[in-house]
């Protein structure tokens, strides 16, 4: 069966893979036999090989070098281009993070190929599904030149185990001077949180301008924590300083597609919808019965968030006992 390269996205600690990698491996199996590519500091492959085997990696290319982590994106694209040239894979499937898309773009130029970003599905003939224009339009597209490169939108594929051998093959990494142009001086974590990552979470609770203050976002956090959910925010909430920018959901923020999205005090502007419209189930709490968010909601409560949400949080916590 044809080989499909899947560069692995590591978790921030570099010791495990992100869920996006398992999604990419699952999608890659539609196109052929996945070969995971571990790009990272020396020692990385050893800690992730088992999970890659569990999710269908027939092979694991081990491309380890300090250069890969010390410089932005370009070294990874360079190693992948070498692999594409050497192995002639049927396709390359990459998680759709900021970095994933940039790797896809550089790889496309290096290999003279086309790429499709944020695909939500693919068929065996390589036809991809994408969501356009704030989730309002579904598009089918295809790569017409070179080795097709796809980036997979988070939470659009359910990871499914499919045990495989994960046979390791070491790749000699020779990063060119040209690929060392952008130095990563340091990686800084500003908000440590025990909550799930926004784009990966299966439940997201978001607050909008209706939350009214930064302090009152504790109401949103309370509900999120009772459900084991991530916290999100509308742009109006972020612009008002209620919550940090990295939690913004929408066209200029994160795109999320959880099992459950709870919009609290959010009107449902088109740019907000852009980031959450494809959520499986949408619940809204808003005191304005005419708020557009209700057009989208599977279940809506017309009421004051300051009474409804804390009471709901209490009940959920009690049920979990």
Partner 1 sequence: MNIVVLVKQVPDSGTERKLDPADNTVARATADNVINEMDEYAIEEALTLREAHGGEVTVLTVGPDTAKDAIRKALSMGADKAVHVSDPAMHGACAPQTSAVIAAALGQLEYDLVLCGAESTDGQVSVMPALLAERLGIPQLSGARKLTVEGSTARIERQTDGGYWELEAALPAIVSTWDTINEPRYPSFKGIMAAKKKPVEVRTLAELGLDPSTIGLGTATSQVLDFAGRPPKGEGVKVPDEGDGADKLVGYLVAQKIV
Ligand X SMILES: Cc1cc2nc3c(=O)[nH]c(=O)nc-3n(C[C@H](O)[C@H](O)[C@H](O)COP(=O)(O)OP(=O)(O)OC[C@H]3O[C@@H](n4cnc5c(N)ncnc54)[C@H](O)[C@@H]3O)c2cc1C
Interacting positions 54-113 with ligand X (CB under 6 A)? none
Q: Which does 77 bind (CB under 5 to 8 A by kind): partner 1, ligand X, none?
A: partner 1
Rg over alpha carbons for the chain, rounded to the nearest Å, is 21
What residues contact residue 57 under an 8 Å CB cut-off, 6+ apart? 6, 25, 34, 35, 36, 164, 166
- Residue among 186 and 215 whose Cβ is closer to partner 1: 186
Interacting positions 185-204 with partner 1 (CB under 8 A)? 185-193, 197-199, 203
Interacting positions 238-267 with ligand X (CB under 6 A)? 248-253, 265-267
- Residue among 139 and 167 whose Cβ is closer to partner 1: 139
Residues 36/166, Cβ–Cβ less than 8 Å: yes
Q: If we measure between CA atoms, which residue out of 261, 30, 234 comes closest to residue 155?
A: 261
Q: If we measure between CA atoms, which residue out of 198, 228, 194, 273 comes closest to residue 19?
A: 198
| 176 near partner 1, judged by CB under 8 A | no
Angstrom distance (rounded) from CA 2 to CA 90: 6
Q: Which does 272 bind (CB under 5 to 8 A by kind): ligand X, partner 1, none?
A: ligand X
Q: Which one among 269, 282, 283, 312 touches ligand X, defined by CB under 6 A?
A: 269
Angstrom distance (rounded) from CA 289 to CA 295: 10
Q: Tell me the residue nearest to ligand X as measured from the CB.
A: 250
Q: If we measure between CA atoms, which residue out of 230, 297, 234, 302 comes closest to residue 269?
A: 234
Q: Which one among 271, 310, 316, 317 touches ligand X, defined by CB under 6 A?
A: 271
How many C-beta atoms surround the C-beta of residue 208 within 10 A?
Answer: 30
Interacting positions 48-107 with partner 1 (CB under 8 A)? 72-74, 77, 98, 101-106
Residue that has been written with the tokens 């060119």 in this structure:
176
What residues contact residue 21 under an 8 Å CB cut-off, 6+ apart? 6, 8, 9, 10, 36, 52, 55, 95
Question: 52 exposed, middle or buried (CB, 10 Å; 0-12, 13-18, 19+)?
Answer: buried
Q: Which stretch binds partner 1 (CB under 8 A): 30-38, 49-57, 177-185, 213-221?
A: 177-185
What residues contact residue 188 under an 8 Å CB cut-off, 6+ apart? none
Q: Which does 208 bind (CB under 5 to 8 A by kind): ligand X, partner 1, none?
A: ligand X
What residues contact residue 193 under an 8 Å CB cut-off, 6+ apart? none
- Residue among 141 and 240 whose Cβ is closer to ligand X: 240
| 1 near partner 1, judged by CB under 8 A | no
Q: Which does 259 bind (CB under 5 to 8 A by kind): ligand X, partner 1, none?
A: partner 1
Interacting positions 302-321 with partner 1 (CB under 8 A)? 302-304, 307-309, 311-312, 314-316, 319-320
User: Mask of contacts with partner 1, 257-286, x by CB under 8 A?
Assistant: --xx--------xxx--x--x---xxx-x-
Q: Which does 52 bind (CB under 5 to 8 A by kind): ligand X, partner 1, none?
A: none
Between helices 74-87 and 98-111, what is the axis angle to 10°? Answer: 50
Q: If we measure between CA atoms, which residue out of 175, 181, 199 comes closest to residue 39?
A: 175
Interacting positions 278-317 with ligand X (CB under 6 A)? 285-288, 291, 304-306
Q: Which one among 169, 184, 214, 218 touches partner 1, defined by CB under 8 A?
A: 184
- Residue among 53 and 149 whose Cβ is closer to partner 1: 149
Interface with ligand X (CB under 6 A): 208-210, 234-237, 248-253, 265-267, 269, 271-272, 275, 285-288, 291, 304-306
């Amino acid at each position: 069966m044809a080989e499909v390269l899947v560069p692995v996205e590591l978790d921030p600690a570099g010791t495990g893979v992100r869920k996006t990698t398992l999604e990419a491996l699952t999608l890659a199996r539609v196109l052929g036999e996945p070969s995971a590519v571990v790009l990272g500091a020396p020692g990385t492959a050893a800690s992730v090989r088992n999970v890659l085997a569990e999710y269908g990696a027939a092979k694991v290319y081990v491309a380890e070098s300090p250069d890969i982590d010390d410089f932005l994106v370009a070294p990874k694209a360079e190693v992948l281009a070498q692999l594409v040239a050497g192995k002639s894979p049927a396709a390359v499937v990459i998680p759709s993070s900021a970095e994933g898309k940039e790797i896809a773009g550089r790889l496309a130029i290096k290999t003279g190929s086309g790429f499709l970003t944020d695909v939500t599905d693919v068929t065996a003939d390589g036809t991809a599904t994408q969501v356009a224009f704030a989730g309002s339009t579904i598009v089918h597209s295809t790569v017409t030149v070179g080795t097709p490169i796809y980036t997979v939108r988070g939470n659009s594929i359910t990871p499914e185990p499919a045990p495989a051998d994960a046979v390791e093959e070491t790749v000699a990494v020779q990063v060119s001077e040209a690929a060392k142009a952008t130095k990563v001086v340091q990686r800084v974590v500003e908000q440590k949180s025990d909550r799930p990552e926004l784009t990966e979470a299966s439940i997201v609770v978001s607050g909008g301008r209706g939350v009214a203050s930064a302090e009152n976002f504790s109401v949103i956090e309370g509900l999120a924590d009772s459900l084991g959910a991530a916290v999100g925010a509308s742009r109006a909430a972020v612009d008002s300083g209620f919550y940090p920018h990295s939690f913004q959901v929408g066209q200029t923020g994160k795109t999320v597609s959880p099992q459950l999205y709870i919009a609290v005090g959010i009107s449902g502007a088109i740019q907000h919808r852009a980031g959450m419209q494809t959520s499986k189930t949408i619940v809204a709490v808003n005191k304005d019965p005419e708020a557009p968010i209700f057009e989208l909601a599977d279940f809506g409560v017309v009421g004051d968030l300051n009474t409804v949400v804390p009471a709901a949080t209490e009940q959920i916590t009690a049920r979990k006992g």
